[in-house]
């Protein structure tokens, strides 16, 4: 008698499909996704394909990409801002760096000049950009280069 009841219970369980309610799991996944999107800082550094930076034996990959004011110097000596605007004069370079410096300081980030110069550029042009950045109040300079295996 007891064995018949057990058999009937087993048959009923086999007939029923076991399903799991996934709605709470989906809600949890979306909540985690939103949390990580809001709490992370997305930093996008646009690289100008026209610049061929030099290689350096002791170059290091920067760990912190925040606060960068990117200026590109092409092989022909023209100076470009990150947003593809040509900076024709020293005053234009200083104004561009100063505007970005003020924006970064308001956000509480230390501004740094990220100078990406082509390997064929004359050092006098690089000096001009660094001096213009110094006049705008930015004293930290990061020189872009390729890392060589040691």
For the chain, domain boundaries: 2-39, 55-147
Specify the pLDDT at position 8: 79
Specify the pLDDT at position 1: 60
Specify the pLDDT at position 68: 83
**pLDDT per 10-residue tile (average), the chain, 150 residues:** 76 71 86 85 66 75 78 86 83 89 88 85 87 87 73
Specify the pLDDT at position 149: 66
Q: What kind of architecture, by CATH, is found in domain 55-147? A: 2-Layer Sandwich (3.30)
Q: Using CA atoms, how far apart are residues 74 and 76, in angstroms rounded to an integer? A: 5
Per-residue CA distances from 111 to 34, 104, 114, 146 (Å): 29, 6, 10, 22
Specify the pLDDT at position 29: 92
């Amino acid at each position: 008698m007891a064995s018949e009841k057990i058999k009937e219970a087993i048959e009923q369980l086999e007939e029923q499909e076991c399903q799991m309610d996934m709605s709470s799991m989906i809600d949890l996944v979306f909540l985690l996704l939103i949390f990580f999107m809001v709490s992370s800082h997305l930093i996008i550094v646009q690289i100008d394909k026209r610049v061929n930076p030099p290689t350096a034996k002791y170059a290091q990959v920067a760990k912190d990409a925040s606060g960068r004011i990117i200026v590109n110097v092409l092989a022909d000596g023209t100076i470009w801002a990150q947003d593809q605007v040509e900076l024709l004069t020293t005053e234009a370079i200083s104004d561009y760096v100063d505007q970005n410096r003020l924006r970064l300081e308001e956000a509480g980030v230390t501004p740094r000049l990220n100078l990406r110069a082509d390997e064929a550029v004359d050092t006098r042009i690089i000096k001009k950009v660094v001096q213009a950045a110094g006049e705008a109040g930015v004293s930290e300079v990061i020189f872009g280069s390729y890392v060589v295996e040691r």
